[in-house]
Amino acid sequence: MSDDRKPYWRHPHAALLEAAALAASLDGEPDWSIWTLIPKATLHEAVALSCNIDPDRVEFTTVGDCESQPLKYKSRMKIALAHVGKGGSLKSEGMFSHTDQIVKLNDFAEWADRIGFSLPDEFPRQPLEQLPIQTKSWPWGEHETELLKHLAAAADRFWRLYDPTDNTTAPTNEQVSTWLQKEKGVAKRRAEVMASILRPDGLPTGPRK
């Protein structure tokens, strides 16, 4: 007798995720030795990872439907859904459903940096030196100093995906300045000046709307 049942759909990373679940620590953290090798994930997985939670340990339904979901995960998922997809500041590459679109973890990390989400140190991201600088040549030509390198790096990290029609995609001066101080060792006053230099003319400095 023929079997007309449809084949069971299996997540493309199922084997890896099963191994990660087995190896994950009891406190529910992801197995980063697995996730650092995975370039793409569903939005649910990316948000869970951003909270340092193993995605398999979070029951995924629709936002607000599951009381067992950690509050941090629920709030970040709600924000991510408001930004992901066509016309949003978080790029997606397809979807299993409206609430679980596919994103590159590098893109998610850049978006998270811009809106102020903290990420685990292990969260997959493209090394800064490999990121393409959109500006083909700076006005000072071949002249370069360490501070100019830091300025270029900050411009690429925080302003590369800025949408002039949407002020919410702009980082705050504080975010840029803090990153320059912590990641590049720039003195506080210099970092504040550099953040102001990078900010587009006419863009309000107050709360983003």
Question: How far apart, in whole angstroms, are the C-alpha atoms of residue 188 and residue 186?
Answer: 6
What's residue 186's pLDDT?
93
What's residue 91's pLDDT?
85
Question: How far apart, in whole angstroms, are the C-alpha atoms of residue 34 and residue 106?
Answer: 15
**What is the percent of the chain with per-residue pLDDT over 90, rounded to a whole number?**
20
Question: How far apart, in whole angstroms, are the C-alpha atoms of residue 105 and residue 111?
Answer: 10
pLDDT digits (tens, 9 = 90+) for 134-174: 444 565 667 778 888 888 889 888 888 888 888 888 889 99
Question: How far apart, in whole angstroms, are the C-alpha atoms of residue 171 and residue 157?
Answer: 10
What's residue 87's pLDDT?
77
Q: What is the dihedral of CA 200, 205, 207, 209, to 10 degrees?
A: -30
The count of other CB atoms within 10 Å of the CB of residue 66 is 13
Q: Which two tokens stand for residue 83?
A: 């930004």
What's residue 25's pLDDT?
41
Give the residue extent of every domain in the chain: 14-125, 129-198
What's residue 108's pLDDT?
93
What's residue 105's pLDDT?
92
Q: Residues of the chain whose pLDDT is less than 70?
A: 1-27, 59-68, 95-99, 126-141, 205-209
